[in-house]
Amino acid sequence: MLTKDQMQKASAMLIKCNKERTLIDALPEELRPRTRAEGYAIQEFVMRETAHPLLGWKIAATSLGGQKHVMVDEPFAGRILREIVLPSGGSVPLNNSNMSCAEFEFGFRLGQDLPPRAAPYSMAEVMDHVAALFPAIESPDCRYTDFTAVGGPQLIADNACGYYFVFGDDVKVDWRQYDLATHPVHATRNGRDQFQGCGANVLDDPRNCLLWLANELSGLGITLKAGQAVSTGTCIPPVDVKPGDTVEGDFGDFGKISAKFV
């Protein structure tokens, strides 16, 4: 089992790679997490990089295709810091990104705490704690040369491939009356290339993702707090981008969102 000092050193190495935009093949053997719990313990040190309260959580590998791609059998979560969230239309720096893609996601904002407890949360309980729904774009990145080969614990340690987010406005219509699983999402790149998907592409329904996160964090002894945002994974296959590209997501009645890549 890794010591606290080893975990801190592993986190410092990954944070340094992120700041300098460099890559490593893997964490050194003596600093490498062997379990998801060790990965999350390393990830927690990322909070030393912000002066703000945690803004929220992202969920990665919420589709079977995504899980197969990175060789995991369930989703995993990462922290969203306030410094890496931009408003719709914002400019996302690619900075030699190892992934260089845009992901279109359903986001939820909590209205009440979901604290750790022994019994799993139900869908009804979790949804009763949600204050808002909003569209989001994630621009993920990873600090490993081949992020498909390092395994779940190391991906979790690397903040679940977190990099930048663009958050849209809260949905104005009564979104609870909609079937999020069948709700379509359309995207364009530079106003031409067309991409499409729907809510069912993330664990069959974005609400399932939120329920998964609530219980994942509960098992780790972490409270999903009121005011925190949750981005639930891409409902459209990742859209490749390069500097100069602009993408737009059309969530229908839920609004539009865009991002520029620089």
Structural domains of the chain ordered from first start: 4-261 (3.90.850.10)
CA–CA dist 156, 4 (Å, integer): 16
Looking at residues 236-259, what average pLDDT do you find?
A: 98
Predicted TM-score (pTM) of the model is 0.97
Two tokens, residue 167:
């958050």
In this prediction, what percent of the chain has a pLDDT beyond 90? Answer: 99
Mean pLDDT value of segment 151-165: 98
pLDDT of residue 84: 97
How sure is the predictor about 231, in pLDDT bands with cuts at 50, 70 and 90? very high
Question: pLDDT tens digits for 21-53?
Answer: 999 999 999 999 999 999 999 999 999 999 999
The mean pLDDT of the chain is: 97
Q: Which amino acid is at 164?
A: Y
Q: Per residue in 79-118, pLDDT tens?
A: 999 999 999 999 999 999 999 999 999 999 999 999 999 9
Residue 256, strand partner residues: 250
| pLDDT interval class at 68 (50, 70, 90) | very high
What pLDDT, on a 0 to 100 scale, did the predictor assign at position 164?
98
Mean pLDDT of the 214-225 span: 98
Q: Is the pLDDT of residue 64 over 90?
A: no
